[in-house]
Amino acid sequence: MAKNMTINLRIWRQKGPEVPGKLVDYTVSNASEHMSFLELLDVLNEQLIASGGDPVEFDSDCREGICGSCGVMVAGIAHGPQQLTAVCQLHMRSFKDGDTITVEPFRARAFPIIRDLVVDRSAFDRIITAHGYVSVKTGSAPDANAIPISKDAAEEAMDFAACIGCGACVAACPNGSASLFTAAKIAHLALLPQGQVEASRRVVAMVDQMEAEGFGDCSNYAECEAVCPKGISVAGIASMRRAYMKGVFSK
Amino acid sequence: MSDEVANSMSELSHSPRLDAKVPAGRLQEKWDAYKDAVSLVSPANKRSHNILVVGSGLAGASAAATLAGLGYNVKCFCIQDSARRAHSIAAQGGINAAKNYPNDGDTIWRLFYDTIKGGDYRSREANVYRLAQVSSNIIDQAVAQGVPFAREYGGVLANRSFGGAQVSRTFYARGQTGQQLLLGAYQALSHQIAAGRVTMLPRREMLDLVVAKDRARGIITRHLVTGELERHAGDAVLLCTGGYGNAYYLSTNAKNSNVTAAWRCYKRGAFFANPCYTQIHPTCIPVSGDYQSKLTLMSESLRNDGRVWVPKDPKDTRAPEAIPEDARDYYLERRYPSFGNLVPRDVASRAAKKECDAGRGVGETRLAVYLDFGAAIRRLGVQTIRDRYGNLFEMYERITGDDPYKTPMRIYPAVHYTMGGLWVDYELQSTVPGLFVLGEANFSDHGANRLGASALMQGLADGYFVIPYTLGAYVAGIRQSEGIPESHEAFTAAEEEAGARIDQMLNNKGDKSPTQFHRELGRLLWDHVGMARDRTGLEEATGAIESLKDEFWERIRVPGSADRFNKNLEFAGRVADFIELGSLMARDALRREESCGGHFREEFQTSEGEAVRNDEVFADAAAWEHTDRRPVLHLEKLSFENVHPTTRSYK
């Protein structure tokens, strides 16, 4: 039978970007080891609604670790203690009955808080808009097998393309850098012939946008890779920096 | 009784309100003939037209990017914080296309035929043929965008067979094909945002369609951070808002997937077709408790090597490993000797329900069956199984805490996809001129049942290759001077209605949360409008849903206020619409006195429990019109000029 657990939560509550926030204590006494962490927050919220309180706001959507909507600091770690797992797939069996868990939003200068655990990650979209694409319109594509791509290149591109854009890398980085996110898109496209055409222009535009958004630079802490739910490698950051220098000087 | 009489009369005839506008000529030439004849819009004129695209999934993002690339002014809306997060992202298996790269005999005709047959002969031939025709272009487009599909060592694209198809026509990117195709479309969209052709409006929820002078003129949205109600006028509205599977509360859909935008369009005059067609996927991780918020799908490919069984004796509660072979019932292999564990989704799902209903379910809740890899591991070795399914086994262990290499998985069916949706003609236009519906939100293409790897194909076909032509036909026929400004009374009225609804929910101060209502609705629909339906159950559900609707407006409690980020306020509005939809689903299921695809009526089955379709009476699409009294049924009679409906058999 599933074990019943009592979990104490200290959750960051903040009404808006300009209002000071604070940690507030809650207890959920009917938790189960089979619950996901977000289901624990659901149960807490139902409790709060029933008692006339204000539920805790957080983003979540697919709840199967692929959309990248969710993301909170659980006990000081982005997405919590289980590696390669977004917080929606973190289950309570990772915790003990009676544990006290602190829950905070992803914090970074470029991710202003909207409310409670919800942050504004639109800076990521603007980095992609800067040039995180191949400039091809619908209808202008050659046959899909016209350009052979080695299996290894396709697999490696896929490793980087697996990024879900959750922002854990930024939250874990002491510099609040978006280097892993940005490098993942640059590497994904640079590894494919279709992306090579604009590779140099792309890396300069995206890195410049990252800086303009207020993200910090990379100091090789590699905290980002450690928390990434998809295990994206920091190797992409090294290639991004090389390509950026080349791109800037060849301008 | 007057309902029954009206229905039985209309049963025989095609409604004049449903002109599908299928071009004349041979099936194979219809789409070319359409493109030859359709009006074009000049580049200068495209610039002066504003197109509203609601939703940024495969259909929405591909449509917005393509139309912007052609020169239209596009506004694109999504409920998530980024266009990249739409639920298309969660599709695992792959995307079909009639490329015939493996040289194994695939053709456009075969993809068309398989799709029509898989849909149990309840879709429109011309639309499905066009889908198969443009399928190959989708793969070309995705590769050009940088979608990293799986490849062979020689550098060409890899294909696999999926969902029991006899040819290998499925393209895939690991188990994340939906994610990669969506990111491709999102990047194409970002390209057009950078070019200034698309204005992207994330964290917006469409709350109403504005109709004036018999045409769609714009939409009302709520800004989900500030709570502000906004007016957006446009020359055409493209609804790309996905399916309604979350009506059941528990489904494989995302938490924010909902029917509200489509339902508001229904209430403004768009007919809703075949709402009873819902697809239940057989291999999902079972419910573990009352707190359950969603269900997780395990790829269908698992059935290639896993064997499905339950203990023969319902009282046998030993651990699965301790149950000897002769005490196990491999019921799919027993009932369907030729297809065994690989029977189609609907058949496998119903068989699991049948075992659990008979008390032979397993696990704590007894609502699960075993999917056992023991035999495959003994035959092929653990490494081969790890290579094939390693990531799925890890995901299963993460969620359940059980190790499927050692103990069988527990699986149970879950709501996955909805074939029904807003009725559209060949041009993807609804019964409201100027309102187009793309992707899962429309009823087109999949009939009563969708084949695996065909949802991604349809969403992208609609957005990349169909709407750019058919929208032109509409736009070429409208004049700018006919448009209405956002200050028009139709906008004011729609905005006031949306605001009043929000106020009513907030001011009610009842004692039940939106989630409580949603769970209750889900239970009603799952029990009575789920995998198997019958008249008594459907009538009972209809009454219960009506009471639930009344109770909702008496007892709903929504915390917080309207002028802020307020997830429970969003949920409440969606639940209210799901309740109304639930009632229409039951009504549609009651009217369709046959079993076909995802719709199984207990009264219409063979003595062996197989579905009995009735082509004489029900070869139609049932399109419901909203009225103040009760929904009115209109029929589009389906004619099969190129294929002959047959009975599916998997014995």
Q: What does the pLDDT read at residue B4?
A: 46
For chain B, the domains span: 281-415, 489-626
Residues in chain A: 251
B630 is catalytic: no
Contact B559 A130 (CB under 8 A): no
For residues B18 and B8, is the Cβ–Cβ distance under 8 A?
no
CB nearest A39 (choices: B81, B99, B291) = B291
A71, A146: one domain: no
Instruction: Name the nearest CA neighbour of A178 among A250, A116, A130, A135.
Output: A130
A163, A243: one domain: yes
**CATH 3.90.700.10 assigned to B281-415:** yes
A92, A209: one domain: no
State whether residue A24 sits within 8 Å of chain B by CB.
no
Domain B489-626 CATH (choose: 1.10.10.10, 1.20.120.140, 2.60.120.620, 1.20.58.100): 1.20.58.100
Question: Is residue B328 helix, strand or coil?
Answer: strand
Return the number of other C-beta atoms located less than 10 Å from residue B603's C-beta. Answer: 12
Contact B567 A55 (CB under 8 A): yes
Q: Are strands B229-233 and B198-201 parallel, antiparallel or unpaired?
A: unpaired
State whether residue A132 sits within 8 Å of chain B by CB.
yes
pLDDT bracket for residue A16 (50, 70, 90): very high
Contacts of B155 in chain A (CB under 8 A): 148-151
Contact B187 A133 (CB under 8 A): yes
CB nearest B398 (choices: A46, A48, A91) = A91
Contact A149 B142 (CB under 8 A): no
Contact B190 A133 (CB under 8 A): yes
A12, A129: one domain: no
A59, A135: one domain: no
- Residue B57: closest C-alpha in chain A: A67
Q: What does the pLDDT read at residue B481?
A: 67
DSSP state of B476: T
CB nearest A38 (choices: B81, B293, B511) = B293
pLDDT, averaged across chain A: 97
**75-94 in A: which are within 8 Å (CB) of B?**
82, 85, 89, 91, 93
Contacts of A111 in chain B (CB under 8 A): none
Contact B148 A33 (CB under 8 A): no
Contact B81 A35 (CB under 8 A): no
Hey, of B139, B201, B294, which one would you mutate to test binding to chain A, going by the most A CBs within 10 A of its CB? Answer: B294
Whole-angstrom distance, CA of residue B165 vs CA of residue A157:
29
Contacts of A157 in chain B (CB under 8 A): 146, 148
Cα distance from A246 to chain B (closest Cα, Å)? 23
Question: What is the distance, to the nearest Å, from the Cα of residue B429 to the centroid of all Cα atoms in its chain?
Answer: 18
A72, A134: one domain: no
Contact A194 B146 (CB under 8 A): yes
For residues B379 and B373, is the Cβ–Cβ distance under 8 A?
no
Whole-angstrom distance, CA of residue B401 vs CA of residue A89:
12
- Name the strand (E) or helix (H) holding A30: strand A22-32
Q: What are phi and psi of B281, to 5 degrees?
A: -90, 130
Contact B202 A63 (CB under 8 A): no
Q: What does the pLDDT read at residue B11?
A: 52
For residues B138 and B115, is the Cβ–Cβ distance under 8 A?
no
Contact B398 A131 (CB under 8 A): no
Whole-angstrom distance, CA of residue B621 vs CA of residue B596:
12
| Residues in Cβ contact with A196 at an 8 Å cutoff, skipping those fewer than 6 apart | A190
A244, A153: one domain: yes
Whole-angstrom distance, CA of residue B352 vs CA of residue B308:
9
SS (H, E, C) B209-232: EEEECCEEEEEEEEECCCCCEEEE
Last residue of a domain, which of A36, A69, A104? A104
DSSP calls for B42-67? -HHHHHT-EEEEE--SHHHHHHHHHH
Q: What does the pLDDT read at residue A1?
A: 56
Flag whether A109 is in a domain. Answer: no
The ranges of chain B with pLDDT < 70 are 1-12, 480-481
A43, A94: one domain: yes
CB nearest A115 (choices: B62, B400, B564) = B564
Contacts of B193 in chain A (CB under 8 A): 129
Contact A61 B564 (CB under 8 A): no
Contact B148 A161 (CB under 8 A): yes
Number of domains in chain A: 2
CB nearest B146 (choices: A66, A134, A165) = A134
Catalytic residue among B217, B264, B328, B345: B345
**192-251 in A: which are within 8 Å (CB) of B?**
192, 194-195
A-B contacts (CB, under 8 Å) = 226
Flag whether A113 is in a domain. Answer: no
State whether residue A120 sits within 8 Å of chain B by CB.
yes
Phi-psi region of B550 (alpha: psi -120 to 50; beta: other; left: phi over 0): alpha
Hey, of B92, B101, B147, B287, which one would you mutate to test binding to chain A, going by the most A CBs within 10 A of its CB? Answer: B147
State whether residue A41 sits within 8 Å of chain B by CB.
no
| Residue B342: burial class (beta carbons within 10 Å; 0-12, 13-18, 19+) | middle
- Provide the Cα torsion A122, A125, A127, A133; round to 10°: 180
What is the mean predicted confidence (pLDDT) over A11-36? 97
A131, A244: one domain: yes
CATH number of the domain that residue A200 is part of: 1.10.1060.10
Contact B254 A63 (CB under 8 A): yes
* Positive or negative torsion for Cα B336, B342, B347, B349: positive
A70, A37: one domain: yes
State whether residue A181 sits within 8 Å of chain B by CB.
no
Whole-angstrom distance, CA of residue B467 vs CA of residue B237:
12
State whether residue A45 sits within 8 Å of chain B by CB.
yes
Instruction: Name the nearest CA neighbour of B128 among B589, B638, B648, B647.
Output: B638
pLDDT in tens, A141-189: 999 999 999 999 999 999 999 999 999 999 999 999 999 999 999 999 9
CATH number of the domain that residue A23 is part of: 3.10.20.30
For residues A80 and B389, is the Cβ–Cβ distance under 8 A?
no
Return the number of other C-beta atoms located less than 10 Å from residue B489's C-beta. Answer: 9
CB nearest B179 (choices: A60, A66, A143) = A66
Q: What does the pLDDT read at residue B5?
A: 43
- Residue B257: closest C-alpha in chain A: A61
CB nearest A151 (choices: B151, B225, B464) = B151
- Residue B566: closest C-alpha in chain A: A57
DSSP state of A196: H
Structural domain span for residue A100: 4-104
